[in-house]
Structure formats: C-alpha cells, structure tokens
Amino acid sequence: MSKKVRLSGIAYESLVNGPGIRRVFFSQGCRHDCEGCFNPETHDFNGGEDRDMDELIKEVKDNPMLKGITFSGGDPFERAEEFAYMAKNFKDQGLNIWSYTGYTYEFIMNSLDSRPDWKEFLKYIDILVDGRFDQDKMDDTIRFRGSSNQRIIDVQESRNTGVVIVLHD
Ligand code: SF4
C-alpha cells in the first residue's frame, strides 16, 4: 500500500530555505498559532493534500540539481513519522536535510522518550531551525530565520556533544 503524507505544498527548486538548490516540503498542520504567522492556511490538520511519499522521493531522485531537502510548515514535527521515512531515503541519496519547527530543540530533546517518531526524524536532520515565530523579533536581515529568537542548530553535533551548537551569533 502506498504511504501518504499530508502537505500544504512543495517548492521544487528553492534558494531561500537553506543553502544550495533545495526541494522544500511544506507540512500541513500546526498547533503553535504564532501571532503574525505568514502561512495560517497550513494550520488545519485536515487541510492540504495527501501525497504519495514514494513518488515524492522518486521525483527528488530525478533531479540531480538538488543539494538538499527542507521540511517546513506547518510544523514538520507533527508529521515526523512520515518525514522520517522520507528523510531516511534522502539521506541515502546523499542529500543534506534541514527542518523547521515551532518547538524548541530542548523541548524536543526532553520529549524523545514519549515521541519515538521525533527520535527517528531527528536521526536524519542535519540542521534544525527551531522555535515559534515571534513578530516582535522579526528581522529581514537574518538568513533562513523569520525572527531572531529562532536558532539554526547543528543537530548531530549537538547530540554528540550534549551542547546546543548554534551556527550563527
Ligand atoms: S510554527 Fe510556523 S506555521 Fe506554525 S504558527 Fe508558528 S509561524 Fe505559523
């Protein structure tokens, strides 16, 4: 049986959601309700569209220009089981993986015992951009983040060292 994931959209060749040419999968469903969110249509868990994950994986394989994959939102951590399946396949293709989330890295780490889906997804993520969008901290001059409270975190280095490794000042 084909496996489905519910998406709000796809950016096929994006330059603004991480380094290099990337495919961006926008998840459907978000609980954070950040004031000033740019994508309120992605909040409803019943919105968006079910997509066949194996087809999405094959489409990525067919584009040698892609350097990486970004999971954006909605909140990808609400679809972690499905995205873990996709991310594992993309890792096997040698692609770099970014994910955005409204949860903080610390909250995710403290929840791993009760969230095997988060634990699995995290295994394949190189970079996590974490935290809710704060419109009072919105800053157009920063790259890859909507507000300055959000952090660009090297996930695997952080897990290896036990210290949160943030890749900007
Ligand atoms: S986490 Fe992202 S999608 Fe969810 S409400 Fe906040 S800004 Fe919007």
Nearest-CA residue for ligand 1 atom 7 is 37
Identify which of 144, 28, 25, 155 has the alpha carbon closest to the alpha carbon of residue 87. 25
| Stretch 142-154: mean pLDDT | 95
Task: Tell whether ligand 1 has an atom less than 6 A from the beta carbon of residue 132.
Answer: yes
Query: For the sheet containing 151-154, what is the strand order?
Result: 49-52, 4-14, 22-27, 68-72, 96-100, 127-130, 151-154
Domain residue ranges of the chain, discontinuous segments joined by +: 4-161
Task: Compute the distance between CA of residue 164 and CA of residue 118 in angstroms, rounded to an integer.
Answer: 17
If you measure from the C-alpha of residue 21 to the centroid of ligand 1, how many angstroms do you get, rounded to a whole number? 23
For domain 4-161, which architecture applies? Alpha-Beta Barrel (3.20)
Task: Tell whether ligand 1 has an atom less than 6 A from the beta carbon of residue 155.
Answer: no
Q: Is the pLDDT of residue 127 over 80?
A: yes
Q: Which atom of ligand 1 is nearest to the CA of 146?
A: 7
Query: How many Cα atoms are found within 13 Å in the side-chain-facing hemisphere of 151?
Result: 13
Q: Rounded to the nearest 5 degrees, what angle is found at the Cα of 62, between the Cα atoms of 92 and 5?
A: 70
Residue type, 1: M
| Stretch 1-20: mean pLDDT | 94
What is the predicted pLDDT for the residue at 1?
A: 64
Q: Which atom of ligand 1 is nearest to the CA of 31?
A: 4
Biggest distance spanned by C-alpha atoms of the chain: 46
> DSSP label at 138?
B
What is the predicted pLDDT for the residue at 99?
A: 98
Q: Which atom of ligand 1 is nearest to the CA of 30?
A: 4
pLDDT 10s digits, 42-80: 999 999 999 999 999 999 999 999 999 999 999 999 999
What region does 65 belong to: left with phi over 0, alpha with psi -120 to 50, or beta?
alpha
| Stretch 120-129: mean pLDDT | 98
The values of phi and psi at residue 141, to 5°, are -90, -10
